[in-house]
Each structure stands twice: as structure tokens, then as C-alpha cells.
Amino acid sequence: MATLYIELIDIDSELPVRWWLCDDSSIAAAGSDPLDEIANLDPGKAQNKLDTVVLIPDREILYVHVDVPGRSQARVRQAAPFAVEPHLTEEIDEVHIALCDFKRGESVPCLVINRARFESFLATIDAAGIRANVITTPGMLADSTADIHLIEAGSNITVRTTDQLAVVAADTLATTLSAKLADEQEHVRLTCVGTDAIESVTRQSVSHMNAEDVGIQLISFESLLLGVNAPLAIPNLQQGSYAIVDSGATIKQILNKTALATAASVIIVSAIFLVQGVWADVQTERLREDALDIYESVYNTRDVAGNPVFRMQEQMGTRIDEQSTWLNLLEGVVGATSGVEIKNLDFNEVQSKMSITFYADSYQEFEAIRTRIEEMGLSVEVNVAEQQQNRVWARITLAAT
């Protein structure tokens, strides 16, 4: 599939931007045009047939490797913001963190960008009618497993190594390279990306070093683009709440998601009404019938005996009596603070455990909830508790002691 690369040097959509259409290991077309005109380029007229990669300046991001303990990738992803926070000069809720690919037990590479700035870039891209599969930076295009890449960035230079990225002024490149190359024990290759000017600056910067230990090659920016083997695997800032919506989803897939979301909502609504003491049989039946209607439209049956979502609803709605410990537990959670928003319930009848995912207004309120539950004689295992913007997102597992 062809790949369209678009380079934004600023949020201003009226400035001409560079673009390249890469197809079959060659540059099929290239140019410099206002952003809103690029969406109409042929064959970009059917832009959803292209992989579109939008490049924003390297100076906008922090690239950092952090050590995050965890037994699974899911847990590592949840804990990563805590490891990134010491590297920040701004509040954690003011930034967006995107994790690159990583292996369990190894350091985790992260991209960090100011949330407001990122949203401004997204707004500019969206206003131009561009649907970006990947939003990244030029420095992230480089395969830095062997070389140190030096990428021309206006009057600055992006220095990309295996685990670092820095944007430096041209007159400080010598100092930057001296510090980096001092740790290298073997022959070092420097790949300069851009024009003859960056090669000249690089050679001057390393002129005091042993020339036999440093190899320098110059490639064009177009060559850097053509060297990307898997554009969709490039570290992507579009993660979490900024993840791109899959426009290629089938109607059945959309209905599946709708059915599951609706069924899950029935459980949550049922539980909240139940603990508040205003649940009525007629409303239970109405909600159940609404969920079954959607379920039938997807699966062509109203038999839900094997569906765990509905089994959970039945357990919560018909197997819990007024004196149940779990009913008291839910009443304690919901009644602990008006700021609690339950997102998901998972009841394991065999193990007699319940997991609750919820939002609290603050860590203080989260601790109040945990203390209240423990005072009821239940054990509380905190699976995760993290700050998300102005709220605390948590998942706890509860068991009778």
C-alpha cells in the first residue's frame, strides 16, 4: 500500500507543508502545498486507501526509556506514567504519553508530548480533512539499532540514538557528539539526513576526533522515508484516548461492540440502582429486554445462556439477597463519595471475588473507599490506581476475609 508522508513544521495550517507519496520503494510524487489541499491530491482523493503518516517537529516531544516492573504488558502500560513522571518538567495530567513497542523485562520507550499542543496539532490535521494513521516525528523514522542519525531540522539538528532523542543547535553539535561518542568503544557510524550543509557541520564537529573511529554518510530525507519498512509500526502518538477510529470496521463488528457495551451498561446501571434501593422488577425486565433486542440483532438468537455478560447480570440481579456481603460492599462503594463512577464489575462466583473498576475524584477519596471496604471485613487488592487528568482511575479486587 502507498504511504503518504506529511511534514508539519508548525500548527499554522496556512503554511505550505512538505509531502511525499511513497509507492513500491520509490517516491511517486512530492511537493509543498497548503495542508488542506493535500487531502485532494491524486491518488489521495480516496485517502482512506493510503497509509498516512503525519510528522510533527522532534522538538515537540520527549523521548525517554524507563524501567517499569510488571508481569504483563497491560500492567506495564498502566504503570508507565509513574515511571515517566520524574522526567517531566510539567504536571503529569498536562502531558500525553504514548508507549512504543517493548518486550517484557526490558526498558520501555515512551513518547511524551504536551497535551494541549498535541490537541492543537490534531485539530489542524482534522480541519484539513486529513485522516492520519500515524502521528510521529522525523526522529522516530530512523532505525537507530546501529547508526546515530543526525536529521536536519531547520537551524537545529535532531540527534537520534538507540535510546535517546535530542534537538540541538548546530553550533553545539560538537559538544553533543563528544559526550555521546566518548562512551562508544567501537567504530561509530553517523548518518546525516538532509542536505550537504548537515554533513559539513557534522564533519567539522568531529574533526578533533580520530577519523578512523567515525564513519559519516549523507542520505536525503527521501531516502530516510524509503527506508521505513512498516509505516504503521512507527512509534505512534495516537494512543489511548487519541487512538484513531477504525473506519474499516464492518457493520457486524460495530453491532458486536454496541451489544457488549449496552449489556455492560445494563450491569452497571442495575448494580447502581440495586444498591440505592430503588430497583424495581419492571425496570429490570425492561432493561433486560432492551439489551436482548440488540443481542438478537447481532447473534440472531435470544438464548444468552453462554454469554458471560448476561450471566453476570443474572448473578447480580437474582442471586444476591438483601443481606449479601457483596450488596453491602457495593452500597459502601457507591455511598462512600458522590464522586465515584463505576465503570465495570466482574464477579467470580466460584472464587467469591469481585473486581470493580471505577473513577474517584482524588487519591484521598480512593483511599477513603478502600478504608471503608476494609472496615466491612473484606480484603482489598489494588490492581491499579492512576491519575487520569483530574480523576483517579482504579481497579480493585475484593474478597471476604
Q: What integer pLDDT is reported at residue 160 of this predicted model?
A: 92
Phi, psi of 270 (to 5 degrees): -60, -45
pLDDT in tens, 150-171: 999 888 999 998 888 889 888 8
pLDDT in tens, 330-344: 655 555 445 677 777
Q: Label residue 275 by pLDDT band (50, 70, 90).
A: very low
Please tell me the pTM assigned to this model.
0.60
Cα dihedral angle (141, 142, 143, 146), rounded to 10 degrees?
A: -170
Q: What integer pLDDT is reported at residue 285 of this predicted model?
A: 60
Q: Is the dihedral of CA 86, 92, 94, 98 positive or negative?
A: positive
Q: What integer pLDDT is reported at residue 318 of this predicted model?
A: 41
Nearest to 304 by CA among 284, 289, 318, 317: 289
pLDDT in tens, 199-227: 999 998 888 776 567 889 999 999 999 99
β-bridge partners, 62: 112
- H/E element holding 29? strand 26-34
Per-residue pLDDT for 116 more than 90? yes
Residues recorded for the chain: 401
Per-residue pLDDT for 238 more than 60? yes
Q: What integer pLDDT is reported at residue 93 of this predicted model?
A: 87
* Residue position matching grid coordinates 548518518: 191
Q: Identify the structural domains of the chain with CATH numbers, from first to last.
A: 1-136 (3.30.420.380), 141-228 (3.30.420.370), 251-400 (3.30.1360.100)
% of the chain at pLDDT higher than 70: 69
State the average pLDDT over residues 8-15: 79
Higher pLDDT, 300 or 272: 300
